[in-house]
Amino acid sequence: MQKYKSSSWLRFFADPLVHFGIFAAVLYVFIVPENNTAEEGAVIDIPVGLRADFDQQYKTQFGREPSDHDYEQFETKWVNEEMLYRKGLTMGIDTKDPVVRDRIIAKTKEIYERSAIVLPPSRSELKDFYRKSKRNYQSAGRYDYEQLSMGVGEKSTKAYAEDVLSELHAGAEYKSFGLKYNHFNKRSELAIRARLGDGFVQALGESTEGVWQLLFTARQWYLIRVNKKIEGTLPDFDDVESLVLVDYKKQAKTAALDNLLAQLHADYEVNRRAPQ
């Protein structure tokens, strides 16, 4: 009989719900009392339109009119959440919990973004915006170029690459050096940038067509010869007007929000020597 009782107690304390209950009790004893003082005369006002909003949402979701009991349950839940929200503020959760802080920041920013008014641009304003930001709408350029990759050991040095370059300029054939050779035909600038970086693309753009030149990038020396540069094409404004309008509104919205934040700065003094 004693053995049965012991095993029962063991199963009781092994129950996860028991663990949670013990944790909640400890939390209440040690944390809640010191923040358990209600605000004197604290009042929770039920919004006038709360019942009407609940009735409408309930009918939409369930297809019938809610009963008074349904609303009472909803109102009790609403009041409980309002009390918990206010108690959380008094406990400093809005500043101590980074998740809550980020949520408040995001919600406040959302409100400011909605209040940032952007007037629709005239067609001439939109065209001017298009001209100033035409690089955003221009298709990527392409290059027809040849590439010699320096090898390993002595062939990987800058000195060796410069020697090869001199011989190429003197008329030597690239095949005579036994280096890895590639010929890229109409390769997209975007693909080149993704593989070899901005420096490589810039060198291609600045190179003289038909002339071998030395280039170092991605920890390796290269010799490149651009045969043809194919400039990206700029579409007609009429073909991308809707896209330009979206970009215009986005940029104008950002500028309007920055202006509102600048006004908000006037309400605060920033102390850069505050203690941790």
Q: pLDDT for 213-249, tens place per residue?
A: 998 886 789 999 999 999 888 889 999 999 999 999 9
**Buried b vs exposed e over 63-76: b needs ≥16 C-beta within 10 Å?**
eeebeeeebeebee
pLDDT digit string, tens, across residues 93-124: 888 888 888 888 888 888 888 888 888 999 99
Beta bridge partners of 222: 149, 215
* Main-chain phi, psi angles of 121, to 5 degrees: -80, 155
What's residue 274's pLDDT? Answer: 62
Query: How far is 14 from 12, CA to CA, in rounded Å?
Result: 5
Of 97, 96, 105, nearest in space to 261 by CA = 105
pTM for the model stands at 0.46
Between strands 220-230 and 142-149, the pairing is antiparallel
What is the predicted pLDDT for the residue at 220?
Answer: 85
Q: What is the pLDDT of residue 104?
A: 86
Domains (range + CATH), the chain: 11-91 (no CATH), 139-230 (3.10.50.40)
Confidence at residue 260, expressed as pLDDT on a 0 to 100 scale: 87
Give the residue from 158, 145, 176 showing the smallest Cα distance to 221: 158
Residues 6+ apart with CB under 8 A from 220: 149, 150, 156
Q: How many CB atoms lie within 10 A of CB 163?
A: 12
Name the stretches of the chain with pLDDT < 50: 1-10, 12-13, 16-37
Q: Which residues pair with 230 in a beta bridge?
A: 142
Give the model's pLDDT for residue 113: 84
- The amino acid occupying position 35 is N
Q: CA-to-CA distance for 206 and 226, rounded, in angstroms? A: 10
